[in-house]
Amino acid sequence: MSLPAAPPATVWPGLDPVWSRRVVAPDAGGVPRTWHLLDNGAAPEHGTLLCVHGNPTWSYLWRRVIAAAPPGWRVVAVDQLGMGLSERTPPRTLAERVDDLANLTKALGITGSVVTLAHDWGGPVSLGWALAHREQLVAVVLTNTAVHQPPTAAAPSLIRMARTQGVRQAVCVATPIFVRATTALSRPALPRAVREALAAPYASPAARRAIGDFVADIPLDPSHPSVVTLDAIAEGITGLDVPALLLWGPRDPVFSDVYLRDLLSRMPHADVHRYEKASHLVIEDAPRVAEDVWRWLGDLVPQADPSVRSASSPPGPVRERSGGGDPPGAAAPLWGALSARVGDHATAVVELGTHERRVSFDRLERTVRDLAGGLVATGVRPGDRVALLVPPGADLTAAVYACWRTGASVVVADAGLGVARMGRALRGAAPDHVIGIARGLVLARAMRVPGRLVAAGLLDGASRRALGAPLGLADLVRLGRGRPLPPTPEDDAECAVLFTSGATGPPKGVVYRYGQVRAQLEALRTAYGLTADDRLVAAFAPFALYGPALGLASAVPDMDVTAPGTLTAVALAEAVSAVSGTVVFASPAALRNVVATANELSPRHRAALDGIRLLISAGAPVPLTLLLDVQGLVPQAELHTPYGMTEALPVTDVSLAELEAAGPGEGICVGRPLPGVGLGISAFDDLGGVEAGPTTRPAVSGEVLVRAPHVKDHYDQLWATERESSRTTGWHRTGDVGHLDDDGRLWVEGRLVHVVRTASGPVTPVGPEQRIERLDGVSMAAVVGVGPVGTQQVVAVVVPSTGARPGLAGPELAAAVRSAAGVTVAAVLVVKDLPVDIRHASKIDRARVARWAARVLEGGRVGRP
Amino acid sequence: MKVLVTGASGMLGRQTAEALAARGDDVTVLQRRPSGLRLQEVLADVADASSVAEAARGHDAVVHAAAKVDVVGRWRDYERVNVQGTTSVVEACRAVGVGRLVHVSSPSVAHAGAAVVGAGAEPAHPTAARGHYARSKALAEQVALAADGGPLAVLAVRPHLIWGPGDTQLIARIVERARAGRLPVVGSGAALVDSTYVSNAVDALVAALDRCESARGEAYVVSNGEPRPVGELIGDICRASGVPAPRRHVPFPVAALAGAAVDVAWTARLALPGLPTPGDPPLTRFLAEQLATAHWFDQRRTRSALNWTPRVSLAEGLTELARAAAG
């Protein structure tokens, strides 16, 4: 028997030496073995969390989970035999490791409820234990692991390489390459002390022997002795009905999303959270994993933490909603208004541009029907996800409604996210099928988005085959003619996955169910009094799709929809004229360019614009001056601005007249809630926290809470984010901050993550920014905080209209900003421009500005934000 | 209350003695040269233990503000005034039964050159402190706080960058150098620094005296709680004092190098007997760091423990400065 010498505890940051203990227990063959483990020794009132590391890490990996353990939970993190500080043993098979662990838990007297938590190849070991201890098992938690090699994916090439006898010896045992490589996967790099601690037990070839043995035990071919065990585990968990949580680092080059999908196919009820930037060592890259594990377990044991929701939601994505109202199936399907117009040869969709295309209601209805049949014929099933990488227009409209008719869910990511983030977002959503134009298909392949490809647009057979999409939309229409279609989807079936703009972090997938999308259509119809006499012109992507569902003709102007600033006044007028438009949807960036190009309008154009009764500016805050300029172009129109977000739209609405009457205030006035929408404010506490229940008391600032039948169902594979946003039962926490005024109007003061937490309380950015922006010589301003939360200082970063070298503002400008801000400003910095989001080109990335300001105000290099 | 104030020849000690007297305390001051104050006075070297003990006899409390604060000098001079001086004050308090000791310290005792961003009062760290002044004050604070216990309650107050009309340290130096065109902006001038208007520091010392027992045994950083970019603060002080604000920027590495060279040169001159004592050097490494890195503090604990808030804002202080400069 050989035990590795314990390095001094000081080299292990975060690990409390009192957790460390050694226990002797018989191994699978009955030989007594000395285990090392971390054990917080707590009385397991709620249960024991049994943590199993993978290869080549050790129990150190779980230190944050142990440190964050709430009362009532014993945490036992083992070093597998031969690994960490446990005894070095002869090679062990998977079956032996499962039995080793069972003997250890017996020796430790773990008899009550157990939750397993595992990483990497600790996953199969922990699941093997779980299946053998069903009577004790309460839940399973897994991080980047696998139980099965999906036939569609090549085995992780790193592992396959490491499996070659010579390479294995060289990489795993003779040298610390494998050990070091594992800790080097993280971006940004892990702190040196943590990398050293993870590698500490594996300093010599003798200490590393089990690392090679472990790799050799991975059953990559059917004759391997551990195949039977692994297959049994993979089979077994399919029937495991305990709550499951999968916490995933999607940047893992070994256990990619393919394995997440395999696990989900076995445990469809599992909650999932993908930590967008995390890699293989997800718990090192995203330290909040530890809190999230406990939060999730806290929901399973409500009495453990009185602050959590009274009852945990049932496992799985299907959830009861308050305010849904209609019994399932009672309402008309989303395509009801379109189907009703079969035989009507009036124009339904006009696509403007060099090749103007007009599609009648009759034609659209038939295309949708046949395309749906084609989708069914080629394998699209109810509940499948279909990603659509097609620009707004007739094809996209047909594809969306066809998907819905098959009962599938559409995944819509717009190029406004930027190509890389769009690709990652799509890959994460894991579509079963991708319908795309050439560019979209190339992106899908380049970004390894899963799913079968279908070509849209004008592509010949050879190009389609080259892109991996043998069939085009026209082929599907032909294939689908006369085919029966599945029944109308239930209201609680998944309908769409949309993505947030990612202005405050990676884009989040937002899942809507059929009932919620129908509720959204109803909300729009009532809010804007839309009738059969209206015709839509939509220069703003989501609304371009809703014409047919509302039974209204619609046109998309000739523009690059991914760049709203490309909409010209003439293009807008042409689109209006093409459908005799009465209602226009456009984003502020588009309207800005329309105003800028208004001198190109002919009298005919102006006459067409006179027919607009309603112009809706959506997507981002609109300056009053811009609205007034727009009003000059559409004299007959009422100008409206809805407030909402990808998760709930529309929430409130305000007209230009109301905005003018309201005047300036603390934040942006977005008007009153629409019918059927509940609004509440979760008030700030002194430290800027927002744990209070919703109030409608005026002049109370805090997070804006919304409830409405058209609020999103949940975030996709973001369990912790979802829980955070829905922790006030029945409400969606928007992440926006603001207050209600005496007239019930909502004023938005910024994003919760951008609130400055000063010693005298929270400071919200938008009010001071607006006051600073009203100064002569200032074109834009960002108000951010620097320093530790609770004692932060307010910093104003301004863009002077005359341009500036980044740095400290001059004394006159600084004095003017300070007196205008209305809050104490510690420093005034100037920059040439401020970073804004791609989609709306208007939401300032204040977090990035704050990081820059912090660096400059520490005395660091100025550079630019 | 009978209070002994050491170092009443300096701006802070002097104004504290006056403030205590004005509110009715019976105040004695101790320093080497006559203060000109209409108060009981003992002329003595603070390092002279027996004189200090004699002076402290019969007092309820001591405010120990005496210190060598020059930017250059020999270690043994700092050690004698700051460390031995504090030791003799502590011993005197014990020997004659003084109940409260407020020790005037400096935030530099706990910082080693890195930026200080909203920090609290970390423990004094003599080996990491930069320069003779900070190191000797760090040792002094340790001596003072170690004496807390039993009948003697001790606390340390660390005001950061005190300034005000009549200040011969910070303001006079800035003004003199700016007038001579020898005041560059180090780095971008954006480093955020706290400072303390002198009346606020005085109020804090008076408050500390009153809260000495409940807040005993610890150090408290005191500032206006209004950090400003160092370039802006110096510019404001220059404008208020009627001298041109600096325009010339010197990159931090250059300034640090120059400062280090000055450290060596001045030390050499001080070590050579017979040469005239030099005046202030243009820049030291310590000063270069102070001017180029952030130094601002979390004031929440100080304010609640001492039940004190700054009465004079930065803007009001600058107005006072301008009024004094205008004569």
Both tokens of A448, joined, read 């390894």
**CA–CA–CA angle A89, A94, A98 (5° rounding):** 85
DSSP string, B257-278: HHHHHHHHHHHHHHHSTTSPPP
B259 touches A at CB < 8 Å: no
Read off φ and ψ for residue A785, nearest 5 degrees. Answer: -110, 145
Yes or no, beta carbons of B229 and A827 under 8 Å apart: yes
B292 touches A at CB < 8 Å: yes
Give the H/E segment covering residue B285: helix B285-292
pTM of the model: 0.87
CATH of domain A755-858: 3.30.300.30
Other Cβ atoms within 10 Å of A201 Cβ, number: 25
Structural domain includes residue B122: yes
At B307 the pLDDT is 97
Contact A741, A681 (CB under 8 A): no
Count of domains for chain B: 1
pLDDT tens track of chain B, all 327 residues? 999 999 999 999 999 999 999 999 999 999 999 999 999 999 999 999 999 999 999 999 999 999 998 777 889 999 999 999 999 999 999 999 999 999 999 999 998 778 899 999 999 999 888 889 999 999 999 999 999 999 999 999 999 999 999 887 778 878 888 888 777 777 788 999 999 999 999 999 999 999 999 999 999 999 999 999 999 999 999 999 999 888 777 776 666 666 666 656 655 555 555 555 555 565 566 667 777 889 999 999 999 999 999 999 999 999 999 999 887
Structural domain includes residue B173: no
Q: Which of A274, A257, A35 is nearest to A152 (CA)?
A: A257
Yes or no, beta carbons of B115 and A858 under 8 Å apart: yes
Strand ordering across the sheet containing A494-499? A452-455, A433-436, A385-389, A409-412, A494-499, A509-513, A714-715
Structural domain includes residue B170: no
Q: Which of A643, A646, A689 is nearest to A670 (CA)?
A: A643
End-to-end CA distance of chain B: 36
At A307 the pLDDT is 41
Catalytic residue numbers of B read 133
CATH topology of A9-151+224-304 equal to that of A755-858?
Answer: no
Give the H/E segment covering residue B178: helix B170-179
B85 touches A at CB < 8 Å: no
Cα A806 to Cα A786, A831, A852: the distances in Å are 17, 4, 11
pLDDT digits (tens, 9 = 90+) for A372-384: 999 999 999 999 9
Question: Among all residues of chain B, which has the CA nearest to that of A824?
Answer: B226
Structural domain includes residue B290: no
Q: Which of A811, A857, A862 sits opposite B192 (nearest CB)?
A: A857
Structural domain includes residue B186: no
Q: Which of B227, B252, B298 sits opposite A826 (nearest CB)?
A: B227
At A153 the pLDDT is 60
Contact list in B for residue A856 (CB cut-off 8 A) is 188, 190
pLDDT digits (tens, 9 = 90+) for A131-185: 999 999 999 999 999 998 876 666 666 667 667 777 788 888 888 888 888 888 8
In CATH, the architecture of A9-151+224-304 is 3-Layer(aba) Sandwich (3.40)
Chain A interface test: which of B185, B221, B232, B303 (most A C-beta within 10 Å): B232
Structural domain includes residue B236: no
Yes or no, beta carbons of B117 and A787 under 8 Å apart: yes
Structural domain includes residue B46: yes
The C-alpha atoms of residue A537 and residue A590 are separated, in whole angstroms, by: 13
Contact A568, A553 (CB under 8 A): no
What CATH number is associated with residue B144? 3.40.50.720
pLDDT < 70 regions, chain A: 1-11, 151-159, 161-162, 302-331, 503-504, 541, 838-841
B229: left (phi over 0), alpha (psi -120 to 50) or beta: beta
Chain A closest-CA separation from residue B326 CA (Å): 21
At A599 the pLDDT is 96
A826 touches B at CB < 8 Å: yes
Structural domain includes residue B26: yes
User: What residues make up the domain containing B215?
Assistant: 2-159+196-224+301-311
At B261 the pLDDT is 61
* Number of cross-chain residue pairs from A and B with Cβ atoms under 8 Å apart: 76
At B259 the pLDDT is 62
Both tokens of A554, joined, read 């619609």
Contact list in B for residue A859 (CB cut-off 8 A) is 115, 187-188, 190-191, 252, 292-294
Chain A closest-CA separation from residue B236 CA (Å): 8
**CA–CA–CA angle A739, A744, A748 (5° rounding):** 30
Yes or no, beta carbons of B190 and A826 under 8 Å apart: no
B294 touches A at CB < 8 Å: yes
